[in-house]
Amino acid sequence: MLNNRSGEGAIDWGKLATIAAIGMMAFLHGAAAFAVIATVRAGQQLEAEHQGKLVVRSWFLEQVQDVEKAPDASLQGKDAFRTACYEEAKDIAERSGGDAARIERQLRYTVATSGSRNLISRADRERGMPGLASSGHAAAVLGSILLLWWLAMLICQGDGLELDLQRRRHPMWEWLLSHPVGAGAVFFAEMLSPLFANPSYWAAPVFVGILYGASHDPLTGIAATFLIGIPVTVAAACVGKALEIGAILRLAPRNRGAVIGMLSWFGYASMVATFIGVAVIPHIIPAFAHWIDQAAIAPWPLLGLFLGLGENGAFSLLRGLLFCWAASAVMIAAAVIFSARSVRNGLAGAFASDTLPRRRKRKASFGREPLFRKEYLWFVRDRSAIVQAILIPITVAGFQLFNFRLILEHARDSWNYLSGAAILFGTYFLWVLGPKSLVSEGSALWIALTWPRGLESVLKAKAWLWSLISSALVAAVLLAACWLFPLDAWKVALVAVGWFFFARSMAEKSVTLVTVVSESGEATKISSGRRWAAQLGMLTFAIGICTQQWNLAIVGIVYSWITAAAMWEDLRARLPYLYDPWSEQLPEPPTLMHAMVSISILIECAALVTGLVYVIGGKDSLGLAQGIGYAVCALCVSVGVSSFLSGRGVSPARIWCWREDEPDPDAKESWARRYLAADRHQIRWLFIGAGGGILLALLAHAYLMAIQLIPSVAEMIHVSEQQMQSVPGMGAAYAVMAIAFAPFAEEYLFRGLVFRTLDRQWGGWRAVVAAAAFFAIYHPTISWMPVAMLGAANCILFKRSGRLAPAILLHMTYNAVVVLWN
pLDDT classification of 368: cutoffs 50, 70, 90? low
Non-local CB neighbours of 707 within 8 Å, separated by 6+ positions: 713, 782
- In degrees and rounded to multiples of 5, residue 523 shows phi and psi of -80, 150
Taking every pair of Cα atoms in the chain, the longest distance, rounded to a whole number of angstroms, is 115
Mean pLDDT of 408-413: 59
Give the pLDDT score at 769.
92
- Is pLDDT larger for residue 368 or for residue 16? 16
- By three-state DSSP, how is residue 523 classified? strand
Percentage of residues in the chain having pLDDT higher than 70: 68
- Indicate whether 170 pLDDT > 60: no
Q: What is the pLDDT of residue 514?
A: 76
* 729 alpha-carbon distance from chain centroid: 46
| Region 668-695 average pLDDT | 69
Highest mean pLDDT among 25-34, 107-116, 546-555 belongs to 25-34
- Which pLDDT belongs to residue 526? 74
pLDDT at 212: 93
Q: Poorest-confidence range of 16-25, 72-81, 201-210, 682-691?
A: 72-81
Residue 614 vs residue 246, higher pLDDT: 246
pLDDT at 343 over 90: no
pLDDT, tens digit, for every residue of 723-758? Answer: 667 766 667 777 888 888 888 888 988 998 899 889
**Mean pLDDT along residues 294-310:** 80
pLDDT at site 660: 46
Going by C-beta distance under 8 Å and a sequence separation of 6 or more, which residues neighbour residue 694? Answer: 813, 814, 817
Give the chain's radius of gyration (CA, Å).
34
Residue type, 543: I
Task: Give how far the C-alpha of residue 460 lies from the chain's centroid of Cα atoms, to the nearest Å.
Answer: 22
**Mean pLDDT computed over 571-590:** 76
For 142, other C-beta atoms within 10 Å of its C-beta total 28
Q: Over the chain, what is the mean pLDDT?
A: 76
Percent of the chain with pLDDT over 90: 13
Whether residue 369 is predicted with pLDDT greater than 80 in this model: the reply is no
Task: Report d(CA 162, CA 15) in Å as an integer.
Answer: 19
**Residue 349 reports pLDDT greater than 50:** no
Q: How many residues does the chain have?
A: 822
| Residue 335 CB-density burial (10 A; 0-12 exposed, 13-18 middle, 19+ buried) | buried
pLDDT of residue 411: 57
Report the candidate in 233, 239, 451 with the shortest Cα–Cα distance to residue 333: 239
Q: Specify the pLDDT at position 798.
A: 92
List, as one string, the DSSP characters of 297-340. TS---HHHHHHTB-TTS-B-HHHHHHHHHHHHHHHHHHHHHHHH
Could you report the per-residue pLDDT of 88-133, keeping only the tens digit for each? 777 777 666 667 777 778 777 777 777 777 777 765 555 667 877 7
Is residue 324 scored above 90 in pLDDT?
A: yes
The answer on pLDDT for 529 being more than 80 is: no
| 193-197, 358-362, 524-528: segment of lowest average pLDDT | 358-362
> Taking 70 as the threshold, does the pLDDT of residue 810 lie above it?
yes
Is the predicted pLDDT of residue 645 greater than 50, yes or no?
yes
Task: Pick the most confident of 97-101, 289-293, 361-365, 424-428.
Answer: 424-428
C-alpha distance from residue 180 to each of 177, 217, 469 (Å)? 8, 50, 51
The model's pTM: 0.65
What is the 3-class SS of 133-149, one letter each residue?
CCCCHHHHHHHHHHHHH
What sections of 228-252 are H helices per DSSP? 229-250
- pLDDT tops 90 at residue 28: no
DSSP 486: G
pLDDT at 510: 85
Is-contact 631 612, C-beta < 8 A? no
Q: Which of 162-176, 333-347, 750-764 has the lowest mean pLDDT?
A: 162-176
120 DSSP 8-state letter: E
For 707-722, what is each residue's pLDDT tens digit? 888 887 788 777 777 7
Mean pLDDT for the stretch of residues 460-472: 84
- pLDDT at residue 466 is higher than 60: yes
What is the average per-residue pLDDT within 167-182? 55
Mean pLDDT score, 327-345? 84
Angle at which helices 253-284 and 79-96 cross, to 10°: 170
H-run or E-run covering 119: strand 119-121
Across the range 283-305, mean pLDDT stands at 71
Q: What integer pLDDT is reported at residue 570 of this predicted model?
A: 85
What is the pLDDT averaged over residues 585-601?
Answer: 81
Q: Which long-range contacts (CB under 8 A, 24 or more apart) does 362-366 make?
A: none
Q: What residues form DSSP beta bridges with 54? A: 119
What confidence tier does 6 reach under pLDDT thresholds 50, 70, 90?
A: very low
Least confident window among 125-139, 448-462, 515-529: 515-529
DSSP string over 424-484: HHHHHHHHHHHHHHHHHHGGGGGGGGGSTT-HHHHHHHHHHHHHHHHHHHHHHHHHHHHHH
Contact 349, 249 (CB under 8 A): no
Q: Which residues contact 291 (CB under 8 A, 6 or more apart)?
A: none
